[in-house]
Structure 1
Amino acid sequence: MTRVVRFHQHGGPEVLRIEDVALSPPGSGEVQIRVKALGLNRAEALLRAASYIETPTLPSGLGLEAAGVIEAIGVGVKDFAPGDSVSVIPPQSMIRWPAYGEFATYPAGLVVKHPPSLDWQTAAAVWMQYLTAYGALIDIAGLHSGDHVVITAASSSVGLAAIQIANRVGATAIAVTRTSAKRQALLDAGAAEVVTLAEEDLAARLNEIAGPEGVRVVFDAVGGPIFEPLTAAMSRGGILIEYGGLSREPTPFPLPAVLSKTLTLRGYLVHEITGNPVKLEAAKAFIVEGLEHGTLRPLIDRTFAFDQIVEAHRYLESNEQFGKIVVTI
C-alpha cells in the first residue's frame, strides 16, 4: 500500500484526500519512483475544479511534477536503475500518470537524471516551468538577442522561467504584474522593466519601453481585455503566444492591430514539446545546460509537507506566491 492524493468530487482544495491504495509494480518500459518532492501547478487546481482540458473519472489522482529515487524498473528499461535520482517531465495526462503520492509510476521516456547539484525541492520545480517557457519563447518565437518580450503573470513559476530564458539569450524581459507589490522582486529576478496593470497604462508603458519598433514577442497567460493594449504595442510581424486564460472576462479579437501589423496570435500547450521526442531532447539540453551554468535557477516560494496538501492548494489559488510551491514527502 502507498499513500496518494485523490478527489472523489470536484470542488475546492478541501476535496483532496490522502488515501491508501495498492501499489502495483511498474509495467514494461516504466519506472517506479519513491517521491521526495512535488511541484504544484495551476493545472492541478483546474483539474480538481473541473476546469481543465482533461475530464477525470472519479475518484482521480492528480499532479504533473515529481522528483525522487527510482524504486523499481519495468521490463525493457535500460537507462535507469534502482537508486537513481530523477525528476519527471510532465506527462500529457496527469489522470493516467498522477504525481501526488509516496510512489509514482512513469514511462521511462519522461524521466530525467537531473543535475546532481539540485536538491529534491528544486528538482521538482524544474520541468513544467522551463519546458513551457522554452517551447513558447525559443522553439516557436525564436527569441533572440535584441528582442523585447512581454511576460504576463510574471511572478508565476512559468513567468519567472521566461524572464531567465529571455536573459539567457540576450532579450529584454518586460514583466507585467497586477500591482507594484512584486515590482522589486521581479527586478531582482531579472526583469529589465516591470509594468503594473492596476497602476499604469499598459500600452503607453510598453511603447515607452520598446520604442517605435515595438515588442516582437508577447508571452501571455491572462487573455481578456489586455489583448488590445498588448497588440497595440507589438511590432510589425510580431507574435503573441497564449498559454493560459486567467482572466474571467471575454478576450476581444484585436482585428485592427492584427491586420495592420500582420500579427500572429497563437495558442500553445507544453505538450507540443513533451509529445515530440526531437523537440523534447533539444529542450532538455537547453534547460540542463542552463541549470548547470546557473543561468536558470528555479525560485521556490514556499514548501509544504505532504499532509498539508489542502493548505498547499489553498495557497496555490491565493495568487500570493512568487515562484514555485513545493510539497515534500
Structure 2
Amino acid sequence: MSRAVRFHEIGGPEVLRLDDVPEPKPGAGEVLIHARAWGLNRADSLFRQGLYSVAPVVPAGMGFEVAGVIAAVGDGVGELRVGQAVSVVPNFNLLDYPMHGEAVLAPVHAVVAHPEELSFEQAASTWMQYITAYGGLVEFANTRPGDTVVISAASSSVGLAAIQIARRAGAKAVALTRTSAKRQQLLAAGADEVIATAEEDVAARIRDLTEGRGARVVFDPVGGATLATLIEAAAQDAVLVVYGVLDFSPATVNVMDVLLKRLTIRGFGVAELAADPGRLAPAVDYVRKGIIDGDLVPVIDKVFPLEKFADAHRYLEGNDQVGKIVIAVGPGVSR
C-alpha cells in the first residue's frame, strides 16, 4: 500500500484526504515513480473545486507534477530504467494519471530525466511552468530582442518562468501584479518593470514604457475584465497569449482595437504542446539548455512536508506566494 492525496467531495482544502491505496503496477508504456516531491498548481485548486476543464470523479486523485525515482517499468518504455531520477511533463488525462501520491503511474511520453543540476524539489517545479511559458513566448509570439513582454500574474511560477524566458530572448519583461507588495521580489526575480494593477493605470504605464507603441507580446492567465486593458495596451501586430482563466467574469473586447491593430489573440494550454512529440522535444531541449546555462532557475516559494499537504493548498489560495509551492515526499528529497 501507499498513500495518495484524494478528495471524496468537491470543496476547499478541507476536503482533501491522504488515503491508503494499493501501489499500482505499470502496464505497457507506463512507469511507476516513487515520489520525492510534488509541484502544486492553480489547476489543482480548480480541479478540487470542480472548476477545471476536466470534471473530477470522486473519490478523485489529483496533481499534475511529480519528481522521483523510477521503481518499475512496463513494456515499451525505451531507455527509461529502474532507479532513474525523473519528472513529468503534464501531458495526460488527470483522471487516468493523478500525480500526488507516494507511488504513481506515468505514461512514458510524459516522463523526462531531469538535469543533474536540479534537486527533486526543483524538478517538480520545472516542466509545467517553463513549457507553458516557452509555448506562449517562444513558439507562438517569437519573442525577440527589443520586444516588450507584459506578463500578468507575474508572481506565479509560470509568470516567473516567463520573466526568465523573456530576458533570455533579449526582451523587456514587464510584470503585472495586483498590489505593490511583491514589487521588490519581482524586480529581484528579473522583471525590468513592475505595474500594480489595482494601483496604477496599466495601459498608460505600458504606453509610457514603450514610448507610445504598446507591448508586442502579452502573456495572460487572468482573462476577465483585465483582457480589455491588455488589448488597449497592445502594440500594432501584437500577440496576446491567454493560458488561463483566474477571473471568470465576462471579458468585454474592443473589436475595433483587435481589427485596427491586427492583433492575434491565442488561447494556449500546456497539454496542447506536450501532446505533440514534434513540438515537445524542442521545448524540453530549450528548457534543459536554459537550466544548464543558468538562465532558467526554478523559483520555489515554500516547501511543505507531506503531512501538511492541505496547508499547502490553503497557502496557494492565499495568493501570497512568489514562485512555486512544493510538497516534499519521502526520504532524501534533495539531490
Q: Which TM class, normalised by the smaller chain length? A: over 0.9
Match of 1:224 in 2: 224
Q: Deviations over 1:152-208 (max 9, x none)?
A: 000000000000000001011100000111001111101111111111101110000
Match of 2:124 in 1: 124
Say whether the 8 Å CA contact 2:92–2:107 is kept in structure 1.
Answer: no
Once the two structures are TM-superposed, the CA of residue 214 in structure 1 deviates from its matched residue by 1.8
Looking at structure 1, the residues matched to 73 and 92 of structure 2 have their Cα atoms a distance apart, in angstroms, of 21
Which aligned pairs between 1:245-260 and structure 2 lie closer than 5 A? 245-260=245-260
Whether 1:5 and 2:18 are equivalent positions in the alignment is no
Match of 1:244 in 2: 244
Match of 1:139 in 2: 139
Say whether the 8 Å CA contact 1:91–1:97 is kept in structure 2.
Answer: no
The AA in structure 1 aligned to 2:64 is L
Looking at structure 1, the residues matched to 289 and 159 of structure 2 have their Cα atoms a distance apart, in angstroms, of 20
Say whether the 8 Å CA contact 2:91–2:274 is kept in structure 1.
Answer: yes
Looking at structure 2, the residues matched to 142 and 117 of structure 1 have their Cα atoms a distance apart, in angstroms, of 27
Once the two structures are TM-superposed, the CA of residue 248 in structure 1 deviates from its matched residue by 4.0
**Secondary structure at the counterpart of residue 326 of structure 1:** strand
Once the two structures are TM-superposed, the CA of residue 57 in structure 1 deviates from its matched residue by 1.6
Match of 1:51 in 2: 51
**Secondary structure at the counterpart of residue 304 of structure 1:** strand
Match of 1:211 in 2: 211
Looking at structure 2, the residues matched to 187 and 131 of structure 1 have their Cα atoms a distance apart, in angstroms, of 22
Once the two structures are TM-superposed, the CA of residue 24 in structure 1 deviates from its matched residue by 2.4
Unpaired runs of 5+ in structure 2? 330-335
Looking at structure 2, the residues matched to 18 and 227 of structure 1 have their Cα atoms a distance apart, in angstroms, of 39
Whether 1:110 and 2:110 are equivalent positions in the alignment is yes
Match of 1:318 in 2: 318
**Secondary structure at the counterpart of residue 81 of structure 2:** coil
Unpaired runs of 5+ in structure 1? none
The AA in structure 2 aligned to 1:174 is V
Whether 1:22 and 2:22 are equivalent positions in the alignment is yes
**Secondary structure at the counterpart of residue 61 of structure 2:** coil
Say whether the 8 Å CA contact 2:186–2:194 is kept in structure 1.
Answer: yes
Once the two structures are TM-superposed, the CA of residue 213 in structure 1 deviates from its matched residue by 2.4
Say whether the 8 Å CA contact 2:24–2:103 is kept in structure 1.
Answer: no
Match of 1:167 in 2: 167
Deviates more, 1:243-252 or 1:299-308: 243-252
Which aligned pairs between 1:28-67 and structure 2 lie closer than 5 A? 28-67=28-67
TM-score, normalisation: structure 2: 0.96
Once the two structures are TM-superposed, the CA of residue 76 in structure 1 deviates from its matched residue by 2.0
The AA in structure 1 aligned to 2:189 is A
Once the two structures are TM-superposed, the CA of residue 268 in structure 1 deviates from its matched residue by 1.0
Say whether the 8 Å CA contact 2:92–2:110 is kept in structure 1.
Answer: no
Q: Deviations over 1:42-90 (max 9, x none)?
A: 1011110000000122111000000001101111223111110111111
Looking at structure 2, the residues matched to 43 and 228 of structure 1 have their Cα atoms a distance apart, in angstroms, of 24
Q: Figure out how many residues of one structure are paired with residues of the other and give that number.
A: 329
Whether 1:263 and 2:253 are equivalent positions in the alignment is no
Match of 2:301 in 1: 301
Deviates more, 1:222-231 or 1:144-153: 222-231
Give the superposed CA RMSD. Answer: 1.0
